[in-house]
Copies of this chain bind each other. A is one copy, B any other.
Amino acid sequence: MTIINDAKNNVINKSIKECAIYEQVPESAIIEGLCSGTIVIPKNNNRSFTARAIGKGLTTKININLGTSENNVDIKEELKKLEVAIQFGADSFMDLSTAGDLDLIRKELLANSNIMMGTVPIYSVITKLLEDNHELTSMSINMLFDEIEKQAEQGVDFMTVHCGLNRRSLDFLDRNPRVVGIVSRGGSMLKHWMKTNNKENPLYEHFDRLLAICKKHEVTLSLGDGLRPGGLVDATDQAQLAELMVLGELVKNCRQEGVQVMVEGPGHVPWKDIQMNIELQKSLCKEAPFYVLGPLTTDISAGYDHITGAIGATAAAVYGADFLCCVTPSEHLCLPNIDDIKQGTIAFKIAAHSADISKGIKKSIQTDLNMSKARAELSWEKMYEYALDPELAKKRKQESSLGKEECSMCGKHCAIRVANQ
């Protein structure tokens, strides 16, 4: 593990340097964060791209999920999704493919990306079993770890592993039934496997095996929340907290072994409880970077969940979440298409950027100041330049009032023009 070892030896390697430059912070701040575990730099030692750090005191990062599913297998489309996500500012992506030649898809995506890549290895194991008409409960422990090792060798930078869904946390779930139950795919697979085979979660029981693989290939662990709530009614319940407490225990093991680790969180959370959820994670997981899925602040916005997710994500990021998993308009309805990926990425870029301004990140504040100056000058070319989606901004302005100084909202009543008189 070069990154952690170098940090511990106060060696400023290329990745640390790149992150410090991007964040406009001293290299010592990155090193301190790596040593204390409040910062991670997910980067497999087989990959080469400009590194990005995630964690305390840094800009908020965003991840976009993509990948194939049944009847939706098209590598070219997935590559296009990746391209669009990168164009609109994604800091990482996860390949969640569950159909087609999974090894080839992963290879292609890795080869065509210059950002961090994550996976959920159990998806591939289960996909292959089901394709061969086996029950998912027939998965052997070696199958799972062999897949993890293969993906680590391939170059995956971070992996979601649902290690906290163990007998202890499932016992809390059994005693406190939910309305929506388990909504994490990995979580439901593991629970089904555990109950049928009457065994402990292998990712928990053999966590040391996981750590050895991560150490060898410099894979960052993303401890997944298989028991995240699937509706506001189930939010912040015993099962969710029991799992989070287990994850907090495992964070300590990772740090002892020098494996970089972040923790995943909900999901669906009423707005007023977002702050508490972040504070709980930071406390129980000793300030490990927090990677949140939204959260969604209402359940009824299918088709518009990117907006709902951005509402929750902004609050989460201000309160301390470090890494936001984009929700797209397709959430709860279908596999995202290319436009969904664009809409989700932009919505979460807005969330991350809004939070970074609130957190006092200077370069984020400067962008908005530039935009304000451009507006005061009615300088449309500059306004397009600073906009998150210059092409769309230009298109809408020009279509509606081509050649005019003011836009068609106010026309000659333009407040800025009147004020400049």
Residues of A within 8 A of B (CB): 69-72, 98-99, 123, 126-127, 130, 136, 179-185, 187-189, 191-192, 230-234, 270-273, 297-304, 306-308, 310-311, 314-315, 318, 329-336, 346-347, 350-351, 353-355, 357-358, 365, 367-369, 371-373, 375-376, 383, 386-389, 392-393, 396-397, 399-401, 407-416, 418-421
Contacts and interface: CB of A to CB of B under 8 A. Distances in A.
**Number of copies of this kind of chain in the complex:** 2
Contacts of A126: 413
B371 A299 contact: yes
Contact of A302 (B234, B311, B367, B383): B383
Contacts of A302: 383, 387-389, 393
Contact of A307 (B188, B347, B400, B409): B347
Nearest to A334: B400
Nearest to A414: B185
From A130, A334, A419, name the one whose CB has the most chain B CB atoms within 10 angstroms: A419
B185 A371 contact: no
B357 A232 contact: yes
Contact of A371 (B181, B300, B358, B389): B300
B231 A371 contact: yes
A301 B383 CA distance: 10
A270 B369 CA distance: 12
B416 A358 contact: no
B184 A415 contact: yes
Contacts of A314: 271, 297, 311, 315
Given A231-B371, A234-B372, A334 B98 contact: no
A348 to B, nearest CB: 10
Contact of A310 (B311, B346, B387): B311
A185 B383 CA distance: 20
Contacts of A330: 396, 409
A412 B130 CA distance: 9
From A136, A189, A298, A410, name the one whose CB has the most chain B CB atoms within 10 angstroms: A298
A297 to B, nearest CB: 4
A409 B367 contact: no
A335 B367 CA distance: 25
Contact of A410 (B98, B231, B336, B346): B98
A275 B188 CA distance: 39
Nearest to A356: B298
Given A375-B180, A415-B185, A387 B69 contact: no
A167 to B, nearest CB: 17
Contacts of A393: 302-303, 333
B231 A372 contact: yes
Contacts of A273: 358
Given A271-B354, A334-B401, A407-B332, A376 B180 contact: yes
Nearest to A396: B333
Contacts of A346: 301, 304, 307
Contacts of A306: 307
A400 B335 contact: yes
Contacts of A368: 231-233, 298-300
A396 B409 CA distance: 32
Given A185-B413, A188-B419, A355-B271, A298 B232 contact: no
Contacts of A300: 353, 367-368, 371, 386-388
Contacts of A416: 180-183, 188, 230
Contacts of A372: 179-180, 230-234, 299
Contacts of A399: 334
B271 A358 contact: yes
Contacts of A354: 270-271, 297-298, 308, 311
